[in-house]
Amino acid sequence: MPRGLGHRRPGCLPGMKPGLLGTLGIDARLAALLGTLAAIWLGLHVLTDGIFLTPRNLWNLASQTAVVGIMACGMVLVIVTRRIDLSVGSIAGCAGMVIAVLQVEVFAPGTWWNPWLTLAIGLGVGAAIGAAQGALNAWLAIPAFVVTLAGLLIFRGVAWLLTSGRTVAPMDPTFQLLGGGFQGSIGAAASWVLGALGVAALAWLRLSARARRQRFGFTPRPLWAEAVTILLMSGLILGFVAVMNSYNRPRTDIAQGISIPVLVLIGVACVLEWLARTRRFGRYVYAIGGNPEAARLAGVPSARIIVAVFALMGFLAALAGAVATARLNAGANSTGELAELSVIAAAVIGGTSLAGGSGTVVGAVLGAVIMQSLDNGMVLLGLPSALRNVIIGVVLIVAVWADALWRRRAGGARGGEA
């Protein structure tokens, strides 16, 4: 899928007149995902007798999505290059344990630098593990599936060996903020400021891109369409902030605002989207996935790009592990267990093709939100976890099937759209 790559006007399928979405410049598949999400939310709201769509539940849902969402952003790039990373859950667990051991048992607890230094080391460990796995794949040509399956076993084991299975607690209070919780939100004022900044950045990005296209003599989208799009997206941003701000800390009337793990997820998604759309790196990631031989013949430094993608994935897995560890307030052996499955499922539900070459970061985040919504709603409904797994599995298959139908309709039968 070009889906998501800058040049193609999103929403405009080959051989079709750009419809309303095309004119507005909104990716039709993202719109479909948003529509699906809205339907799921309404359905769960009705089924749960009105407790699903409450500020409290949505605020929790957002925070619960962070860990899987952060990793799903990186997994998109891995899958786009026609590879897979099965080790993300274990890297998250291992990095979380490294941070916990260093923070609680090695460095002096209570110093201001302890949480920052241990976090930095943990993220570095994750990036290094990812880079090493990428190097094994890129330079020794060991399939990524095998390398990261080994990584899944190795780093889960390493995490256990670090403490012989002990749980390490408690974490530094500053570090705990990374996990959200009662203190770990930025409050109403800062949330509004961030929302306003987001709206301003969005308007500036779209209008400056429009101006630049005009300078090159392209007919731009009608100004009303641009305005409608910016208004719609601004509405989403500000609506999100409003919901986060209408949940108060328990037994107070102080608004929570956006929680720090959610902030981390938003930051990660923005950076990866920026990398994917506006940098050579992103262009090369998609080119490698579309046609590895063509990328090589075009002089794309494929091996280096692959190593970088896996290093980024390892870094994000460690970041997710840090968030989970902070949230749990302990380094535990179960951290990140089976997360690789949720992460891959989120990317796939978000429209990433396992055949490679297509997928978007925003889609993966939406995929993570959809998965977490289903899980959260089913917990509210009191369904046992075994049944929840059955339902999520069915949803995964339906999502991929719907995606395949879509592609067949949109992409024609020819290559690249497998």
Partner 1 sequence: MTTLVEMHDIHKQFGGVAALDGAELWLEAGEVLGLLGHNGAGKSTLVKVLCGAYPADRGEILLDGQRVEIRNPRDARKLGIETIHQTLALADNLDAVANIFLGREIVKWGGALDQAAMEHAGRNVLARLNPNFTNHHVPVGSLSGGQRQVVAIARAIQFQARVLVMDEPTAALGPAETAMVGDLVRRLQSEGMGLIIVSHDLHDVFSLCGRLTVMKTGRPVGHVRTEDVTQDDVLGMIIAGRMPVQTRAARV
Backbone angles phi, psi at 76, to 5 degrees: -55, -50
Which residues between 328 and 357 bind partner 1 (CB under 8 A)? Answer: 357
Nearer residue to partner 1 within complex by CB, 175 or 286: 286
Smallest separation (angstroms) from partner 1 to the CB of 88 = 24
Per the structure block, which two tokens stand in for 78?
């891995």
Nearer residue to partner 1 within complex by CB, 257 or 357: 357
State the Cα–Cα distance between residues 400 and 274, nearest whole angstrom: 26
48-57: list long-range contacts, CB under 8 Å, 24+ apart. 48/377, 48/380, 48/381, 51/380, 52/376, 52/377, 52/380, 55/243, 55/244, 55/246, 55/247, 56/247, 57/376, 57/380
User: What type of residue is 147?
Assistant: V
Smallest separation (angstroms) from partner 1 to the CB of 109 = 41
Distances (CA, A) of 104 to 26, 161, 298, 339, 403: 48, 17, 50, 25, 46
The separation between CA 215 and the C-alpha centre of its own chain, rounded to angstroms, equals 35
- With residue 207 as reference, give the H or E element that holds it: helix 187-215
For residue 291, state whether it binds partner 1 (rule: CB under 8 A): yes
For the window 109-128, what string marks contact with partner 1 as x by the rule CB under 8 A?
A: --------------------
Q: Residue 248, SS3?
A: strand
State the Cα–Cα distance between residues 186 and 270, nearest whole angstrom: 19
Piece of 145-153, 233-241, 262-270, 283-291 that binds partner 1 (CB under 8 A): 283-291
Which residues between 300 and 319 bind partner 1 (CB under 8 A)? Answer: 300
Q: Do the Cβ atoms of 169 and 331 come closer than 8 Å? A: yes
Which residues between 15 and 34 bind partner 1 (CB under 8 A)? Answer: 15
For residue 286, state whether it binds partner 1 (rule: CB under 8 A): yes
For residue 283, state whether it binds partner 1 (rule: CB under 8 A): yes
Nearer residue to partner 1 within complex by CB, 8 or 249: 8
Nearer residue to partner 1 within complex by CB, 10 or 331: 10
For residue 278, state whether it binds partner 1 (rule: CB under 8 A): yes
For residue 411, state whether it binds partner 1 (rule: CB under 8 A): yes
For residue 294, state whether it binds partner 1 (rule: CB under 8 A): yes
Give the number of residues in contact with partner 1, rule: CB under 8 A. Answer: 42
For residue 235, state whether it binds partner 1 (rule: CB under 8 A): no
Piece of 186-194, 325-333, 334-342, 407-415 that binds partner 1 (CB under 8 A): 407-415
Piece of 47-55, 205-213, 257-265, 373-381 that binds partner 1 (CB under 8 A): 205-213
For residue 7, state whether it binds partner 1 (rule: CB under 8 A): yes
Piece of 5-13, 26-34, 45-53, 199-207 that binds partner 1 (CB under 8 A): 5-13
State the Cα–Cα distance between residues 148 and 137, nearest whole angstrom: 9
Q: Which of 142, 196, 110 is nearest to 306 (CA)?
A: 142
For residue 296, state whether it binds partner 1 (rule: CB under 8 A): yes
Q: Do the Cβ atoms of 100 and 331 come closer than 8 Å? A: yes
Q: Where does this chain bind partner 1 (CB under 8 A)?
A: 1-2, 5-9, 12, 14-15, 209, 212-213, 215-218, 278-280, 283, 286-287, 289-291, 293-300, 357-358, 411-412, 414-417
